[in-house]
Amino acid sequence: MTVTLPPSGAVLLAGRIKSLIRLRELKPGARLPAERQLAQELAVSRSSLREAIRTLIGEGVLYSKPGGGTWLCDESARWSEERIVQPLKVLVADDPDYHNDILEARHAIEASTAWYAALRATPADKERLQNCFDAIRQQESVSADMANQADVRFHLAIAEASHNVVLLQTMRGFFDLLQSSVARSRERMYTVPTIFARLTEQHEALLKAILASDPERARKAAQHHLGFVLTTMKTLHEDDARQQRSIRLPDEENDVKKERTDDYLSRN
């Protein structure tokens, strides 16, 4: 008897798969049993198993090859995290202005990610992308934070559909960096109806290109979308910086006046 788990059950099932990996002492680069066999062994439905595997792919534990099964991430995934993402986190922490460089790099990389997703996306990948896009549209009347998270899930689903573990790990790192450095600017994009509408149109164009398995159209859609995001976030971030300066200026002026007054009184 197989069991179909609720969405929250995917996390628990992912934990069971990790335990199975440890029990069998599978090494990085090893292939997991075939989907049918693994579902029978864990006594779960194949749809539940796929969701759990997608969870582990998102965590960087597994990666998949089109028509080639599911594999434990090899050293390339850890190399990406340790040699690319972590140094960038330090860089941005020391100087937040580097977030523009992260945005520009994301703009370049996501064009390739979209290309490979259109080329390699499986029917399950396409279904997940459609669900992620539907979730974005549903957030229009909810909070900016939830809309932001739905956006991130959509783009990471594209990275997963590229079936390139280095691209996926790099994209996950980029979003971690952007969440910490320009989170407020990202969320503000979803509070302006005209910006939200344009983002949704761009997401839909990107989705349709991938569903149509059209790599060139997907690449151009990604470039157009990320170009808009880059310009918008730069503008919003600069507006935030100007606002912060305008808030600080009166206090700074008062401090200067107070210092002058104290100095005058001490001399008289």
Q: What pLDDT shows up at residue 144? A: 73
Q: Distance between CA 197 and CA 183 in Å, rounded?
A: 20
Chunked in runs of 10, what are the mean pLDDT values of the chain (268 residues)? 55 88 83 89 90 81 76 64 67 68 83 95 91 83 73 89 85 71 66 88 96 97 91 77 64 50 49
Q: What pLDDT shows up at residue 61? A: 81
Domains of the chain and CATH, by start? 9-72 (1.10.10.10), 76-247 (1.20.120.530)
Contact partners, residue 126, CB within 8 Å, separation at least 6: 161, 210, 211
Q: What pLDDT shows up at residue 119? A: 95
Q: What pLDDT shows up at residue 5? A: 47
Q: Distance between CA 42 and CA 17 in Å, rounded?
A: 9
Q: Distance between CA 41 and CA 20 in Å, rounded?
A: 10
Q: What pLDDT shows up at residue 121? A: 94
The DSSP code sequence of the chain is --BPPPTTHHHHHHHHHHHHHHHTTPPTTPBPPPHHHHHHHHTB-HHHHHHHHHHHHHTTSEEEETTTEEEE--HHHHHHIIIIIHHHHHHHHH-GGGHHHHHHHHHHHHHHHHHHHHHH--HHHHHHHHHHHHHHHHGGGS-HHHHHHHHHHHHHHHHHHTT-HHHHHHHHHHHHHHHHHSHHHHHHTTTSHHHHHHHHHHHHHHHHHHHTT-HHHHHHHHHHHHHHHHHHHHHHHHHHHHHHHHHHHHHHHHHHHHHHHHHHHHH-
